[in-house]
Structure 1
Amino acid sequence: MLPYQIEARSSKSMAPSIHFEMESDKSNTHSSLHVVMFPFFAFGHISPFVQLSNKLSSHGVKVSFFSASANVNRIRSMLNDASTTQIIPFNIPHVEGLPPGVDSTADLNPTQSELLKVALDLMQPQIRTLLSQLKPHFVLFDFAQEWLPKLVSELGIQTVFYSVFIALSTAYVTVPSRLPEPGRYPTIDEMKKPPPGFPQTSVTSLRTFEAQDSLYMFKSFHGKPCVYDRVLSGLQSCSVILAKTCDEMEAPYINYAKSQFKKPVLLVGPLPPEPRPDQLEEKWAKWLDKFEANSVIYCSFGSETFLTDSQIKELALGLELTGLPFFLVLNFPKVDVSTELNRALPEGFLESVEAKGIIHTGWVQQQQILAHKSVGCYLCHAGFSSVIEAIVNDCQLVMLPQKGDQYVNSKLVHGDLKAGVEVNRIDEDGFFGKEDIKRAVETVMLNINEEPGMSIRNNQRKWKEFLLNKDIQNNFIKNVVKEMEAIAGISSI
């Protein structure tokens, strides 16, 4: 039974009532710090909040996790067995056009996903009521709840903007100096260039198609604030900024963000994933066992990044050209998957690669696949959690970013960290061909005794050692807990 039983009310103007039940303490608590986690309703955001909850809980911090009811089971499955995190569910208010019972972006198209922000804005009264009863020291909130700091300040609660994006993304896109002048959003040409004062690093510009994609940040939907305005307001009005990064990887961008916002910026580190206790499904293990160590390419773009038919064709043909075995995961919006797959793949492709290729749609055990001895390369969208998973599993990184922060993630890994390679693309529209896929894979998988492949492998090995150093990673969390206790005026036990 949950320690908090929520009675949901149907009217959006009414807050839920919360009933507390006593339950025995399941942890060896050594901190009286209490934090609320409140991510946006997208699992690309929920997952890093859960990761951090696991880490904080292991250091004795009391964690209460806010999310919509339909997300609870999946969140619970992501918590460590030893975690004492308590999940507090609530119902999302009805918004015209938003399907009932859908509580995350996973089952929504882009238009409907924007309505989740509208629904979130309507939840302010019930969030205030919950927080007034819980009385945590801090609320860790996400990009879409820019109204939260003002709402809870009179309750004596401090707010932490938890950025699940790398510091480079914040430094390049969502700092105050990004606006060319007050009240005017940047053009494509202006977005190609870094903001004033940006540090001198390998990141010098965005390509045309990347800058075009970034303009989404400045677009308003349903009369609501755009993403840039939400993020900037949240960063400026919070008590503390918390970032899922570290100085070792991003010092120039972290320092630039500090100079822009002039408030405490705490670093939890990159949060490498814990090894999964469950075994890889037998049918995939048997297939992978047929191949030599480090020879298989695993290719996936996550559950909410979809390639166009033409991109799928070039990708598939490029994988075939490498001559290496591959495991390709393709996902599509909520449509007839078999029809989409048959249309997107080249004619006769499934038959021609039957001996050495798997094409799968839907969920797979990604961490276990990457950990298999035969998998040596991960071709992905450069979501940063995927990047970290690749490095800790000693899989060479080939990056093909598709949207949003994926573009700057790839620039950081390819340019600054020099731990992966990005697929070459045309500046204007981002087109890539099968030969571009082939060349990128060959750089890190076949030309390993030549440059730049040799340097990339050496650098990746260095970052793997850093990420798997438990003392280093544990100290990030330990230091964050101490700093948050100090800000809250709590004496460590």
Structure 2
Amino acid sequence: MADQLHVVMFPFFAFGHVSPFIQLSNKLSSHGIHISFFTIPGFIPRVKTLLVPSPNTEIVPLQLPPSLGLPPNLAGTMDLPPSEAIKLITAIDLTRPQVKTLLSELKPNFVLFDFAQHWLPSLASELGIKAMLFSVFSAIANAYIVSPNRLSGIEGIPTVDHLLKPPQGFPTSKNIARDQSRVISTFEAQSLVFIYEKVNESPSNFDRVQEGISGSSAVVMKTSYEMEGPYLDFIKSQINKPFILTGPLIPEPPSDLVLDAKWDEWLARFSEKSVVFCSFGSETFLTQERIRELALGLELTGLPFLLVLNFPAKVNPKVALEDALPRGFLKRTKDKGVVHVGWVPQQLILGHKSVGCYLCHAGFSSLIEALMNDCQLVLLPLKGDQIFNSRLMGENGFVSAGIEVNTREEDGYFGKEDIFTAVKKVMVDVEEEPGKSIRLNQKKLYKFLKEKDVQDKFILDMIVEMKKILEGGFS
């Protein structure tokens, strides 16, 4: 019986990680699975908002150790400057005794954990609990960054030149975006080096993932063959572990939330599918130069736009915005554009009939939310997995359902014309190539994401496979 299964969810405390764990929890609990969701006190209000209320679901608070000097009501990495985010990984390591006590009391069948908790499989094994690494990153990003053969033939930390080359066997036939030998730029390779670096003698993120995979009963991934077939095949060839695919985990908009009148009334001023919504998530920050060029590029399109920006913790957002926006920009665009700093109800905005394009950082969850709302994609990746999500979804990728903004090889620079050109291809030149082909591919993916029975089958299959693991077998 499904209701006999009890699963503990233990994400890393950044919203981009917590959100997929919540989405999976909601899907499993709707099928009678008992969910215990580990989080920190400062994150509980946000988790409560998104976790569907159910007698099958409970939130279990973890207390971070005070020895690191973290704020007592810390709500994840968004409350820390980027330079201090590593402290949260150290803090999670120090919760190990607390986690062991909680797991001993809860006695779940499974614990699903994130990349940082490399020590969890051995702890769970001591207690007779099955542990499974749940990767919130796309298969293409996992294949390029943390494939076990990524560091073969080198000693120590990989260089930029090494990271410019894909792992041996990595599928590139339809994914070349830079030239005929490379998938990523020099600037992008530089942004990946930190993944392989140890900090204060703590294991690198790469090593944490490898140890987590090694100790897992199975690897759980938020994707599907329809979206990432070649990259899933590549990962499976590298990792001798069972794989469970959750599908893209289509989020259900909170039933008790409606779009604020101020947003609804402003968006309603414009024709259907005409507004460009531009947002980069809560923890991807643009430099002043990039904000300036982005704003000017949006202005050039002549289309209505909603530009949402965030700034790192301890930065005064009002001052930062005034310094970044071009002189006279707000006055020139007041009839067609809005610039907002801080949180917005992204799902509800993307679902508004006037929004037709999403210009974003290519976070995987954000891409899914846009596609399920039939929005065109303009991709501007800045770091990490975003780079590979953009190659997957971009014009030359396996999915080819969006346009990537052109950026400079050595430093990632883009200008206003690059923004204008990318938006124009999917919003104006819709009867010309590549805009026409991209729209067709986007529609195919939209149809796949809207097939509820297909999406639900991923979760039903996952429950079946978890039962098999408990019984000692796996298909």
Sort the TM-score into its range (normalised by shorter chain). Answer: over 0.9
**Aligned residue number for residue 184 of structure 1:** 156
Give the SS at the match of 2:343: coil
**Aligned residue number for residue 410 of structure 1:** 390
Contact 1:38 1:65 in 2 (8 A): yes
Deviation at 1:330, TM superposition (A): 1.1
- Distance of 2:272 and 2:332 partners within structure 1: 23
CA deviation profile, 1:371-407 (whole Å, cap 9, x unmatched): 1111111100000111011111111100101111100
CA deviation profile, 1:105-148 (whole Å, cap 9, x unmatched): 11001222101111111111111111112111111000000011
Structure 1 segments (4+ residues) deviating >6 Å: none
1:37-436 paired onto structure 2 within 5 Å? 37-82=9-54, 84-181=56-153, 183-204=155-176, 205-277=183-255, 278-334=257-313, 335-414=315-394, 415-436=397-418
Contact 1:162 1:241 in 2 (8 A): yes
Give the SS at the match of 1:430: coil
Give the SS at the match of 2:4: coil
Deviation at 1:97, TM superposition (A): 4.4
**Aligned residue number for residue 32 of structure 1:** 4
- Distance of 1:412 and 1:83 partners within structure 2: 39
Residue type matched to 2:273 in 1?
A: N
TM-score (normalizing by structure 1): 0.91
Distance 1:276 1:135, change over 3 A: closer
Contact 2:8 2:111 in 1 (8 A): yes
**Aligned residue number for residue 9 of structure 1:** none
Contact 2:43 2:74 in 1 (8 A): no
Contact 1:97 1:112 in 2 (8 A): no
Higher mean alpha-carbon deviation, 457-466 vs 232-241, is at: 232-241
Percent identity over the alignment is: 54
RMSD, matched Cα? 1.5
Give yes or no for the alignment of 1:462 onto 2:462: no
Residue type matched to 1:327 in 2?
A: L
Give the SS at the match of 1:49: helix
Residue type matched to 1:99 in 2?
A: P
Deviation at 1:313, TM superposition (A): 0.4
Give yes or no for the alignment of 1:489 onto 2:471: yes
TM-score (normalizing by structure 2): 0.95
Contact 1:57 1:63 in 2 (8 A): yes
Higher mean alpha-carbon deviation, 268-277 vs 394-403, is at: 268-277
Give yes or no for the alignment of 1:438 onto 2:420: yes
Deviation at 1:54, TM superposition (A): 0.3
Deviation at 1:199, TM superposition (A): 2.6
**Aligned residue number for residue 180 of structure 2:** none
Residue type matched to 1:123 in 2?
A: T
Contact 1:217 1:228 in 2 (8 A): yes
CA deviation profile, 1:127-175 (whole Å, cap 9, x unmatched): 1111112111111000000011112212111110000001111111101
Contact 1:33 1:490 in 2 (8 A): no
- Distance of 2:155 and 2:122 partners within structure 1: 22
Give the SS at the match of 1:421: strand
- Distance of 2:223 and 2:55 partners within structure 1: 22
Distance 1:446 1:194, change over 3 A: same
Deviation at 1:311, TM superposition (A): 0.2
Residue type matched to 1:215 in 2?
A: V
Q: Which runs of 5+ in 2 are unaligned?
A: 177-182
**Aligned residue number for residue 472 of structure 1:** 454
Distance 1:209 1:182, change over 3 A: closer
Deviation at 1:279, TM superposition (A): 1.6
Give the SS at the match of 1:328: strand
Contact 1:69 1:90 in 2 (8 A): yes
CA deviation profile, 1:273-321 (whole Å, cap 9, x unmatched): 2134322111111111111111110100011111000000000000000
Higher mean alpha-carbon deviation, 433-442 vs 152-161, is at: 152-161
